[in-house]
Amino acid sequence: MLELRNIDVYYGNIQALKNINLKVNRGEIVTLVGANGAGKSTTLKTISGMLKPKKGEIIFNGEKINNLNASDIVKLGISHVPEGRRIFANMTVMENLEMGAFIRKDSKNIEEDYEKIFSLFPRLKERRKQMAGTLSGGEQQMLAIGRALMSKPKLLLLDEPSMGLAPLIVKEIFSIIEDINALGTTVLLVEQNANMALNIANRAYIIKNGSIELEGDPKELLKDESVKKAYLG
């Protein structure tokens, strides 16, 4: 479904990504694990069109997308849940979900999809008229994911969904990610919580200093001594 080929990305004169090669197959959960500043968020921003690579190609369903703007990439079927959630705090929960469906024209299906989001996230239904900025951190993360799902993505990019959340809420969010995948959405997950991410992924990449250092089966990576020492404590 998605392939990054020899991607280099710069912030000014500083190189953030170096020769990144990465694949996501349809139906998978693929995780990209690494420390702060390793290049995880930069990778997702490059896929979603917020950053442009200086070198390389991004192929999505056979189409080169690295020269497209972010809105056109959403229309192709890629939705990005950014680090820090970035909900519209001064809008209600329902208005945030409506913004997620902004590019869609199929009114009847949109109504059905609101109910699908509420079945995934019952607390959002209870708070549909509440201002999003007054939600708890976990509820805001649920809203950010729900808003992204309202664009009907084929591929969901998730950036640090566990950040700042209590352990019980983290477990709930990761369970919901598995549910979303089981319903047919492919997921590329960026996480510092390597243990949680590797336990739900089909395949994994370890990124360090802007380069892919390891890739493979998550269960094997969980046994790797260098991965244990660097990311599992």
Whose tokens are 């690295």? That residue is 66
pLDDT for 198: 94
pLDDT greater than 80 at residue 233 = no
pLDDT for 182: 95
190 φ, ψ (degrees, to nearest 5): -105, 130
User: Residue 230: pLDDT band by 50, 70, 90 thresholds?
Assistant: confident
pLDDT greater than 80 at residue 226 = yes
pLDDT greater than 80 at residue 231 = no
pLDDT for 146: 94
Q: What is the pLDDT of residues 42-52, one digit of tens each?
A: 999 999 999 99
Rounded distance between C-alpha atoms, residue 227 and residue 33, angstroms: 10
User: Residue 228: pLDDT band by 50, 70, 90 thresholds?
Assistant: confident
At the topology level, CATH places domain 25-54+65-232 in: Rossmann fold (3.40.50)
- Domain boundary assignment for the chain: 25-54+65-232
Rounded distance between C-alpha atoms, residue 204 and residue 190, angstroms: 10
Q: Calculate what percentage of the chain has a pLDDT beyond 90.
A: 70
Query: Residues 72-97: what's their mean pLDDT?
Result: 91
pLDDT greater than 80 at residue 84 = no
55 φ, ψ (degrees, to nearest 5): -145, 150
User: Residue 109: pLDDT band by 50, 70, 90 thresholds?
Assistant: confident
pLDDT for 36: 85
Q: Which residue has the higher pLDDT, 154 or 110?
A: 154
Q: What is the pLDDT of residues 185-212, one digit of tens each?
A: 999 999 888 889 999 999 999 999 999 9
Query: Residues 113-133: what's their mean pLDDT?
Result: 91
Q: What is the pLDDT of residues 18-75, one digit of tens each?
A: 999 999 999 999 999 988 889 999 999 999 999 999 999 999 999 999 999 999 999 9
158 in Cβ contact with 33 (< 8 Å): no
pTM: 0.92
* DSSP secondary structure letter of residue 43: H
Rounded distance between C-alpha atoms, residue 136 and residue 126, angstroms: 13
pLDDT for 101: 86
